[in-house]
Structure 1
Amino acid sequence: MEAPGGLAPPAGLPAVPGTVPGATDALLRLVDRLLRLEEDGLDPRHYAIPDSTLAAADPAAFRIALHQASAAALTDLLLGRVRDLPGRPDLRRDPSAVNLQAWLAELAATPDPAGLLDRAALLPREAAALKAELARQRQVAARGAFTPIPGEATIDPGDQDPIRVPLLRARLAVEDATLAAAPDAGSRYDTVLEAAVRRWQLANGLEVDGRVGRISLGLLNRPLGDRIDQLRVALDMRRGAGTPPPGRRVEVNVPDFRLRVMEGDRELLGMAVIVGQPARATPMLNVRLTAIQFNPPWGVPERNAREDLLPRFRRDPQAMMDKGFRVFSLVGGERMEIDPRTIDWSSINGRRFPYFVRQDASDFSALGRIKFIMPNGEDIYLHDTPDRHLFRRPDRAFSSGCIRLERPNELMGVLLEGTPGWSLARAERMLASRATSVASLARSLPVRLYYETVVVEAGGRVRIRPDIYRLDAAYARAMVAHRPLVAGMNRPQLSAR
């Protein structure tokens, strides 16, 4: 028998029950609700849902098994199936925010346990919008697999390609009803297909230009199940989430390339950011921002010097000097400066860089004119950048791990509020002086670097960002892991009549 929505229950699960001797209507509704846990991003197979035929054979055993399954599902709906994950300090789990024992007691006493699960499923913020999008994506995936679009070259409007253009049209038609109903233009990339590409780019947070390049192709060829997993993760991450700390705070959603200064639920400032490229991923952190440095020099990390700067020194050491780069070596235990033009850069081993490199503060500095200091073991900070053009890109994973800011002066102004002796005007004078100096903040601010690829915008519109560091994929794998039943699940009866 098909489950609601036309989807058959997963293999290994009982069918949706009908009339079963020994089971009340409320208990059968509960079995039905447990079989529909996929609506909530959970897998019903994880909860040992008893077959309704057990109700006739052994009513007491049926009730015990059903209560255990319900209690396990309720716990995951309230606290999240993944309670902790190595390397993810950004996960805000606060079990005290949900009185689990009170919910479990209500489960044992309520005449409508299925309704209780419904309430718990909608408790997390944005749950209704995420569940609706999850259902939509499941419907898209149910329409069948698609053939990946081969090649890496960009497909431009007006192009003729007998292989790639039809595959592009077929791929978009899976989720775009308007395109699916339009006449087929064959191998020509016509205006109807271009409009569909633009709709898809807008929905996926990409540059809306109608050109299907490397990034668009990568997302189009991604299995449809990946988006379903991202939505399942998004729902689970919001369960049992602690309340934000009181007062002002800085939040950076890394895969959404966005920084916000928040005060309670109010956004004081928002801006685009550039984060670490996948090979040099920005770590998730909970730290405090303590100071602002004006006109900062840049002590180049060894990896950056080896991988990024060595080829540039080989090409033109004078140009590197003109951009403020200085080279040092240890001589007799002391750091001595060396003229880069006297070094045979072609002889330097790319696997081991024997020098220290520093870039002086200037208009060319990789740190720009402002550095925001937040002490941490990863040496991660927020900073200005001279590469302003990159903020126009919808995908902004270009840095070596630190976070570049679109409007650093505005952030500086907000942070200096309340610091005696400082104002935005004074800070701008310090910048204009070209001298390196530091302003310690009167109140350090909490900074949270977190990873949330699924963003719910005003009006409930759901936007799914690429899983740039594959952290959603790791979280989805953790959701499959088996866990023992939690304490308090061994009550022998449900009171549903």
Structure 2
Amino acid sequence: MKKRTPMAGRSFATYTLTDTTLFRMLSLLHILLFILAGVARVFAQGQEQPGYAPYSKARMEQAILRYESIAQSDHWHTFPDTLLLRPGDSSLFVTQLQDNLLLTGDLPLDSSYNTPDYTSGLSTAVKLFQRRHGLKPDGVVGPNTVAALNVPPAKRLEQLRINLTRYDSTFVKEQEPYAVINLPEYKMLVVDSGQVYLQMRVVIGKPTLKTYPIHSKLDMVVLNPYWQVPTSIAVNEIVPILRRNPGYLAKKNMILERNDSGSWVRVNPWEVDWQSINRANFNYRITQLSGLDNELGQVKFPFPNRLPQYLHDTQAKALFNHPHRAFSHGCVRLEKPVELAYYLLSRGSGYTTEGVDKLWAQGKPNHYVRVRKPVPLHMVYFTSWVNEQMEVHFREDVYGYDALLEKQQIQEPAQQKAISLTE
């Protein structure tokens, strides 16, 4: 149907440029110009240092300015939880969606604006919004996208401010190269020579079995690793199976050992009374030997830390297809572990890709190879950040650290007030 001009009618139902619509557009434009002016001031005050910075304090400060303006405006809309919009649909909610995406910068200012039609241009903007929030970028406004849209800008502003404090306490930009894993992003980057040399998806620990932020170094590669089964997994997951079938260990290429006065002695699992074994009297260790079915896959990367955390390959490749990947028992599973091994062992160790392949082909089990030039490793926790394309990203507070920090910030002023009243 041919779009009507303002002179053809002034009814909102016809989606012409009514006085109300024009006022809304001018108000939005005013807010956007104010945001851009503020961002320009901050950018002029604090230019980025040379090199690649995936997580930047200066860019976060610019984002905070933007969300301060959005939070103070009255143009942010919320939507019914049951809303479902697909490209090609027509709905009164489309113009409200356009308002939100203009404010966040997902929808360009030159887009077709005064229409109830869900256009391809709007779909592109929705996909960008979805990517920025760690959602599947399918362009469909469904439950997860609606939930993200319904988070108040003031809440996003607080999220940005909380994460800004982490730049001072958890992440200092290192001399390149370095590796960084942002846990809520489920992503690892290796930065070298001013660019991303390698990036991959990761699986991290469940909320009940957290992967903890840490600063360390990648200084060792273990080819064809053994898997020393953690006691918690052995007691909670494997012992119940052994009560039914002690042959499970042989099937999984695992061996059982008992601690005998400080020495580990091989034990036949069929000779153990598994019905009587529990956490209190579990005096065993279970080791899965190298092989195609090893839970750690082809390679693991231990690094100095006081926790039993390391990076490793995995058999469960399908988990990398999930948008939210907190599934492990605390270690970090890598999407591209072989590529990481090639990179680390090429640094001063004299190994080419072919050389590493030859080491693997030898089949030596649990083969430790030292990295001659260790690479700093930062495992960080940012639920919001701004990338080099100035896209403001938000993620789920998977371990509740944001909530704890927010609670501390609320309590500290109250404590200070209480102290002042007693002085």
Question: Shorter-normalised TM-score: what interval?
Answer: 0.5 to 0.7
Deviation at 1:424, TM superposition (A): 2.3
Out of 291, 294, 298, the position equivalent to 1:365 is 294
Question: Structure 2 matches for 1:308-327, cutoff 5 A?
Answer: 308-314=237-243, 316-327=245-256
For residue 263 of structure 1, report the CA deviation from its aligned partner: 2.8
Matched to 1:373, the amino acid is P
Aligned residues: 355
Query: 1:371 is aligned with what amino acid?
Result: K
State which of 122, 127, 134 in structure 1 corresponds to 2:67.
134
2:399 counterpart of 1:469: yes
C-alpha distance in 2 between matches for 1:416 and 1:240: 31
How far residue 236 of structure 1 moved from its aligned partner, in angstroms, is: 3.5
Structure-2 separation of matches of 1:343 and 1:383: 31
Q: What is the aligned counterpart of 1:275 among 204, 213, 232?
A: 204
Match of 1:77 in 2: none
Residue 447 of structure 1 corresponds to 377
Measure the CA separation in 1 of the matches of 2:172 and 2:260.
54
* Amino acid aligned to 1:393: H
d(CA) in 2 for partners of 1:340, 1:225 = 58
Measure, in 1, the Cα distance between the counterparts of 2:225 and 2:386: 37
Aligned-pair CA distance for 1:142: 7.7
Q: Does structure 2 retain, via aligned residues, the 8 Å contact 1:254–1:451?
A: yes
CA distance in structure 2 between the aligned counterparts of 1:181 and 1:120, rounded to whole angstroms:
39
Residues 1:266 and 1:181: Cα distance change in structure 2 (over 3 Å): same
Write out per-residue CA displacement over residues 316-352 of structure 1, whole angstroms, 9 at most, x where no aligned residue. 5434422222222234554223333444545443676
Aligned residue for 2:360, secondary structure, equals: helix
On the 8 A contact 1:176/1:196 being kept in 2, the answer is yes
Rate the CA distance shift 1:122–1:294 in 2: closer, same or farther, 3 A.
closer
Matching of residues 301-340 of structure 1 within 5 Å:
301-314=230-243, 316-331=245-260, 333-340=262-269
- Partner of 1:410, secondary structure, is helix
Check the 8 A contact 1:174/1:180 in 2, yes or no: no
How far has the Cα of 1:242 moved from its partner? 7.4
Deviation, 1:457, is 2.9
User: Relative to structure 1, is the Cα distance of residues 224 and 430 closer, same or farther in structure 2, using a 3 angstrom cutoff?
Assistant: same
Q: CA RMSD in A?
A: 4.5
1:352-400 Cα distance to aligned partner (Å, 9 max, x none):
6443111111121121111112121112111111111111222111111
**1:218-297 correspondence runs (5 A):** 226-238=155-167, 244-263=173-192, 265-297=194-226
Percent of matched pairs sharing the same residue: 26
Q: Unaligned 5+ residue runs, structure 2?
A: 1-26, 28-37, 49-56, 87-92, 108-112, 417-423
SS of the residue corresponding to residue 376 of structure 1 reads coil
Q: Deviations over 1:449-492 (max 9, x none)?
A: 111121323431112011111122223334443498xxxxxxxx
**Secondary structure of 1:281's aligned partner:** coil
Deviation sequence 1:240-280 (CA, Å, 0-9, x none):
99752224221111111111112364222111111111111
Deviations 1:184-226 (A, max 9, x none): xxxxxxxxx999986764342123455968x779867867654
CA change 1:367–1:140 in 2 (3 A) is: farther
Q: Is the 8 A contact 1:453 1:465 kept in 2?
A: yes
Q: Is the 8 A contact 1:321 1:340 kept in 2?
A: no
Which residue does the alignment assign to 1:105?
none
Q: Given residue 131 of structure 1, which amino acid in structure 2 is its aligned partner?
A: I
Conservation of the 8 A alpha-carbon contact between 1:290 and 1:443: yes
Any idea what the Cα deviations from partners look like across 1:140-188, whole Å, max 9, x if unmatched? 8985877878xxxxx9999xxxxxxxxx99x9899568999859xxxxx
Change over 3 Å in CA distance of 1:199–1:441 after alignment to 2: closer
What CA distance in whole angstroms lies between the structure 2 residues aligned with 1:121 and 1:478? 29
CA separation of 1:216 and 1:144: change in aligned 2, threshold 3 A: closer
**Do 2:68 and 2:154's aligned partners in 1 also have CA atoms closer than 8 Å?**
no
Q: Which amino acid aligns with 1:471?
A: Y
Shift of 1:302: 1.1
2:202 partner amino acid:
V
In structure 2, how many angstroms separate the alpha carbons of the residues matched to 1:447 and 1:141?
43
Q: Aligned ranges for residues 56-135 of structure 1 at < 5 Å?
A: 124-127=57-60, 129-135=62-68
**Separation in 2, partners of 1:454, 1:424:** 36
Paired residues of 1:137 and 1:227 also in contact (CA < 8 A): no
- In structure 1, the residue corresponding to 2:377 is in which secondary structure? strand
- In the alignment, what sits opposite 1:401? 330
Q: Is the 8 A contact 2:259 2:283 kept in 1?
A: no
Alpha-carbon distance between aligned partners in 2 of 1:119 and 1:285, rounded to the nearest angstrom: 33
CA distance in 2, matches of 1:117, 1:133: 11
Cα 1:125–1:196, aligned 2, differ >3 Å: closer, same or farther? closer
- 1:183-222 alignment, distance < 5 Å: 201-208=130-137
State the secondary structure of the residue aligned to 1:419.
coil
Counterpart-to-counterpart distance in 2, 1:141 and 1:326: 65
- 1:340-379 aligned within 5 A: 340-349=269-278, 353-379=282-308
C-alpha displacement of 1:440? 1.0
2:84 and 2:259 map into 1 onto residues whose CA distance is: 53
Give 3-state SS (helix, strand or coil) of 1:445's partner: strand
Mapped to 2, the partners of 1:285 and 1:172 lie a distance apart of 39
